[in-house]
Structure 1
């Protein structure tokens, strides 16, 4: 369990909103605390620095000279913001968790006004909605603009929204100065470059109060010490506008003399989840409910299985359920209202941000990053992004979870969005799992996405934001040869029993061609290429195995895909040290897409048979992959058998999922299991992002 809460409870909407307060090591549960409007941390004393409650520790106060205390100002499960006194410093002392141990002590003083990758205080972007106060519809149920939906979160106001919100504030402390003479006052402000990007709260008169530039702390407060809480109001989006750093300045005025101290903090980056993380809930599309219905307050239970309405939907769900059971994941499918949109993976990317908590734990906020796909034909200035991704606001935004969006509004109405917009879908983004390469340590992996640096690339402002995080340094793979342009059309990652702990599952069109050629040599060339599917539901009714090997669009598709995949693997070898031992090749068959005259893209391909690499790792040793429907020989599907044999040494097992009607054969290029699902993952055993080293 996370240091903050049980995340499944936070998003399930299956019961009262409670925040779990872990009382022990990861995986144990402590006190359940109802979210309310009260910020005090104890029934007998105001928050966040109570002096009587053992839950909170001693209030920072005047101590006799030379006294040694165990200073503590923590953001943790059992201790949200607690201050304990130390001997009075010689001058004004402003402290934060510089050494990232989840506590504040004099050990944090060294280098506190600077920041390096190995040392420096952190603050959380407070973008969740702990009291579910954010509206999702206007008067009379009118739909809110996309930008208005996204603008509401806990950092958008100037108050602390209950106890759960208090936990999202990064701890800071003004040490007690019992020698402060009468008339001494002080201010705590952020330097001008970051003033609009951070919120500073102080415990005053039993409440957490937002401090403005002109608010002064009194002599009494300075004598007793002051507990502070710091929030970042957003992530870094454009480093030219804000680089993510905040210098907090304490200025103490004593009878015309001024003394100063300062601390530097950095906002925690947006961190993409990776596929080795164990899945908590698999998300699938609910086509019986429109996003607008849940925005307007329709009661919705995401665990209630909807009536299948699309061809192949029932068997798709059945096989997912069976595969999850095999993986030991018993939670119900998490249903997400999309209307007619099948492509769950293209709606948002699951990510998080975290800061240190005591005991080596992390305090996290989950973030759903909406796709920057400006939809051709339907996008307007008010509603530019994919409509189905809006359901994340009423359904998932809440305690411990925020929803974020970033896109270039100039793309609305542009023809480029019609031709190249798919590159901005979140299905085109993945995470290379944790690894070390050439002295660089990536404990939470690296972002990987498809694009060639030109028009066939994701939204530039979206990429700028990812790069600006400063961690998980993105790797671009040229996917301009793919019709949909997504990396999941040929690449995924699963756990493995090797030095890395994982392998890349990669489509191999040469292997697919080799398997078919072997069948022809054994006299099987006259059999249908596609097995188990009615001819009318295939692209080429009556196409045989031998005919496929002669079909120009398939032979050309094999050549294009081979060159594209080889180029991508070369990039991964150079940028991440991938070797052939780290690659599992699975058979594939690619076809050149027949596009209308005048279309600016040409010689692009799609999977002819379902792509086995377009699957989902459960993080527990099972890989959900689409049934292949390739010819059978020796008692089984030749493509499926080859994929199973390739993955067997890794220890990962394949659970086959029927997706031909529901996803593969849908539209111009279709998709597979990964495209049609999304996942909420756990973080047990994950190393902190701040241990990344260049």
Structure 2
């Protein structure tokens, strides 16, 4: 908001100036006064509010019929109530008096042209511009917070192949404008005044790279500010209200807090003297991940030469959820079936609009072009973060290593959008997700990341030992953790019951094992001990960082096999926590465990702990299509999920 201006007046001649509606302007009545003047009186026309400001401890307010003394502690302030319809149609008259004189010694006449100038945005986050309020230069979090919001315009409404709208330099179309935040400039007053006084909008050089502003004109949306343009003298076209549309160009990141500012000045054209300065702030909406507990909207799987039977099984499973299945063709995936690793679906949201956004991983294998060529489109955005040096990309930068919890409360602090989970070497390995990805995820602020220990695994992804499923009570979900100990306990129980000869991997073209064989295998037992310790470490982290108790966690039987150095663990049988969660329907890798009376004891155990939660378990054979290539059902699928109903700007960060 502008600092208070002061207009000097003189009794020698009339003074002409401009004032802004709702803005107080001081009238300097002391600059030029008649000789022997000791008192004054001031009057204004009905279009003005004239106020005498004084310190009651230093000045006594005059009685009725008396005049104000000429005392520098007394100030005159004028505030226009409405815009002028003609030049100089508002008047202020200051009359000066001597000690005993009843007639003025002289009068100063101030002729004002009042203009209504204001830059307004959706400060209250209701989806439309709120007019004429203050405090637009401050952005606050939480319910009741204030401040406008921008979407990164990262979808493709303009239909330019290979790039999103934020990269397109052409004019927006009607669909594109709907992604943008409206901003209205009020410039009401006699048209002639705007020939001499100018309206200028400015942004900093850094913000010019992060937003773009369009002015709505009769036949077009003209790019006027941002994207390297840092100043614009507004083309008013004799309009009282001028509509602009603002788009974000960058998501928050390590070097960008997410806040961008637009400054407005109303100033005299020849000497640049400022009548009004005003600022509005926008926060660029973050990218938000969605957990397994959110409703599925669309499932993706890749068609490759080795998985046709699996895709048939998956199609039947997905049909149960009435959710569409998008089968990525071989020409699109180029033999890369690990669609979970290539991309992570999330969304972005402002009060007026939201749409899904795919985060594209830097792994860049066969599916590298798919997120841009096939996912990016109208109301479906795209964002990526890649390091300058591609040689630094590791398996930890694949998105089987990136998950998010359901909403949690931790020591009284709410995370209503959950917390991002990232696999890491912690203090046992130097391997980490790439810095550019970690910086990006931290900068979104609303899903504070938690790091888990994952480099004990050969592939190194956290989806190899954990997942979340919906549940009807407690926190509304359960954390499923792979458990070698639970598997060994189950097998020992079955061995004691006389089933030590029951065979694992029966019917598969590979070496089979009995329960007795497994329980006698030193490498499996040693591997189980090492891997259980690593999983227990993650259990401890998640209990602390997600506010979980033991009742929130379910152990799922699993065995891993390490190499000769007791490192680089691989799933010994299809890993059942690496499942596809579609509401209450769970697509679980078929473990091919020992059968007792025709029933797999591993499947039976999993059903016994999950089906009482109202979940339906379907075991899918992914052995030859995924498991033997060190992945499972979750690794080979991906899901677009319904956004949270909770509004991210209501978070306390």
Q: TM-score range by the shorter chain?
A: 0.7 to 0.9
Which of 307, 313, 321 is the matching residue for 1:319?
A: 313
Q: 1:149 maps to which residue?
A: none
Structure 2: unaligned runs, 5 residues or longer = 1-80, 85-112
Q: Does 1:430 align with 2:403?
A: yes
Which of 229, 242, 250 is the matching residue for 1:226?
A: 242
User: Residues 202 and 228 of structure 1 are in contact (CA less than 8 Å); yes or no, is this contact kept in structure 2?
Assistant: yes
Q: 1:614 maps to which residue?
A: 578
Which of 344, 347, 360 is the matching residue for 1:370?
A: 360
Give 1 or 2: higher strand fraction: 2
Q: Does 1:129 align with 2:132?
A: no
Cα deviation, residue 590, structure 1: 1.2
Q: 2:640 maps to which residue?
A: 680
In 1, the alpha carbon distance for the partners of 2:377 and 2:282 equals 26
Q: 1:172 maps to which residue?
A: 183
Q: 2:165 maps to which residue?
A: 154
Cα deviation, residue 111, structure 1: 2.6
**DSSP 3-state at the match of 2:149:** strand
**DSSP 3-state at the match of 2:368:** helix
Deviation sequence 1:145-164 (CA, Å, 0-9, x none): xxxxxxx3212234443111
Which of 320, 338, 343 is the matching residue for 2:338?
A: 343
User: Residues 125 and 234 of structure 1 are in contact (CA less than 8 Å); yes or no, is this contact kept in structure 2?
Assistant: yes
In 2, the alpha carbon distance for the partners of 1:478 and 1:276 equals 23
Q: Does 1:444 align with 2:407?
A: no
User: Residues 252 and 258 of structure 2 are in contact (CA less than 8 Å); yes or no, is this contact kept in structure 1?
Assistant: yes
Which of 551, 564, 579 is the matching residue for 1:581?
A: 551
Q: Does 1:98 align with 2:123?
A: yes
User: Residues 483 and 593 of structure 1 are in contact (CA less than 8 Å); yes or no, is this contact kept in structure 2?
Assistant: no
Q: 2:449 maps to which residue?
A: 474
Q: Does 1:334 align with 2:327?
A: yes
TM-score normalised over the length of structure 2: 0.77
The total of aligned residue pairs comes to: 529
Q: 2:258 maps to which residue?
A: 244
Q: 1:671 maps to which residue?
A: 631
In 2, the alpha carbon distance for the partners of 1:631 and 1:206 equals 72
User: Residues 613 and 625 of structure 1 are in contact (CA less than 8 Å); yes or no, is this contact kept in structure 2?
Assistant: yes
User: Residues 286 and 339 of structure 1 are in contact (CA less than 8 Å); yes or no, is this contact kept in structure 2?
Assistant: no
Cα deviation, residue 458, structure 1: 1.0
> Larger radius of gyration, structure 1 or 2?
2
Q: 2:533 maps to which residue?
A: 563
Q: 2:367 maps to which residue?
A: 388
Deviation sequence 1:392-426 (CA, Å, 0-9, x none): 222121111233221223242x6xx5xxx111101
Q: 2:516 maps to which residue?
A: 546
Deviation sequence 1:547-595 (CA, Å, 0-9, x none): 1112122112211221111111111111110111211221111111358
Query: Over aligned residue pairs, what C-alpha RMSD do you find?
Result: 2.3
In 2, the alpha carbon distance for the partners of 1:238 and 1:614 equals 32
**DSSP 3-state at the match of 2:367:** helix
**DSSP 3-state at the match of 2:478:** strand
In 1, the alpha carbon distance for the partners of 2:577 and 2:360 equals 24
In 2, the alpha carbon distance for the partners of 1:101 and 1:214 equals 29
Cα deviation, residue 638, structure 1: 0.8
In 1, the alpha carbon distance for the partners of 2:603 and 2:206 equals 57
Q: 1:277 maps to which residue?
A: 294
In 1, the alpha carbon distance for the partners of 2:204 and 2:278 equals 12
User: Residues 92 and 261 of structure 1 are in contact (CA less than 8 Å); yes or no, is this contact kept in structure 2?
Assistant: no
Structure 1 residues 543 and 203: alpha-carbon distance in aligned structure 2, compared to 1, 3 A threshold: same
In 2, the alpha carbon distance for the partners of 1:497 and 1:558 equals 32
User: Residues 319 and 656 of structure 1 are in contact (CA less than 8 Å); yes or no, is this contact kept in structure 2?
Assistant: no
In 2, the alpha carbon distance for the partners of 1:91 and 1:439 equals 47
Structure 1 residues 345 and 182: alpha-carbon distance in aligned structure 2, compared to 1, 3 A threshold: closer
User: Residues 190 and 198 of structure 1 are in contact (CA less than 8 Å); yes or no, is this contact kept in structure 2?
Assistant: no
Q: 1:496 maps to which residue?
A: 471
Q: 1:205 maps to which residue?
A: 218
In 1, the alpha carbon distance for the partners of 2:563 and 2:213 equals 55
Cα deviation, residue 686, structure 1: 2.5
Structure 1 residues 542 and 502: alpha-carbon distance in aligned structure 2, compared to 1, 3 A threshold: closer
- Shifted more, 498-507 versus 487-496: the winner is 498-507
In 2, the alpha carbon distance for the partners of 1:116 and 1:424 equals 33
**DSSP 3-state at the match of 1:122:** strand
In 1, the alpha carbon distance for the partners of 2:341 and 2:258 equals 28
In 1, the alpha carbon distance for the partners of 2:223 and 2:172 equals 12
User: Residues 574 and 591 of structure 2 are in contact (CA less than 8 Å); yes or no, is this contact kept in structure 1?
Assistant: yes
In 1, the alpha carbon distance for the partners of 2:526 and 2:369 equals 40
User: Residues 185 and 219 of structure 1 are in contact (CA less than 8 Å); yes or no, is this contact kept in structure 2?
Assistant: no
Structure 1 residues 478 and 343: alpha-carbon distance in aligned structure 2, compared to 1, 3 A threshold: same
Q: Does 1:650 align with 2:643?
A: no
**DSSP 3-state at the match of 1:483:** coil
Deviation sequence 1:462-514 (CA, Å, 0-9, x none): 11111111221111101121111111001111110113111111111111001
Q: 2:201 maps to which residue?
A: 188
User: Residues 615 and 672 of structure 1 are in contact (CA less than 8 Å); yes or no, is this contact kept in structure 2?
Assistant: yes
Deviation sequence 1:288-331 (CA, Å, 0-9, x none): xxxxxxxxxxxxxxxxxxxxx21xx23311221222222343x2
In 2, the alpha carbon distance for the partners of 1:285 and 1:219 equals 54
Q: 2:267 maps to which residue?
A: 253
1:407-426 paired onto structure 2 within 5 Å: 407-412=386-391, 421-426=394-399
Structure 1: unaligned runs, 5 residues or longer = 1-62, 67-87, 136-151, 288-308, 358-362, 374-384, 596-601
Which of 588, 595, 601 is the matching residue for 1:625?
A: 588
User: Residues 423 and 486 of structure 1 are in contact (CA less than 8 Å); yes or no, is this contact kept in structure 2?
Assistant: yes
More contact order relative to length (CA 8 Å, sep ≥ 6): 1
**DSSP 3-state at the match of 1:92:** strand
User: Residues 483 and 606 of structure 1 are in contact (CA less than 8 Å); yes or no, is this contact kept in structure 2?
Assistant: yes
Q: 2:147 maps to which residue?
A: 120
User: Residues 83 and 116 of structure 2 are in contact (CA less than 8 Å); yes or no, is this contact kept in structure 1?
Assistant: no
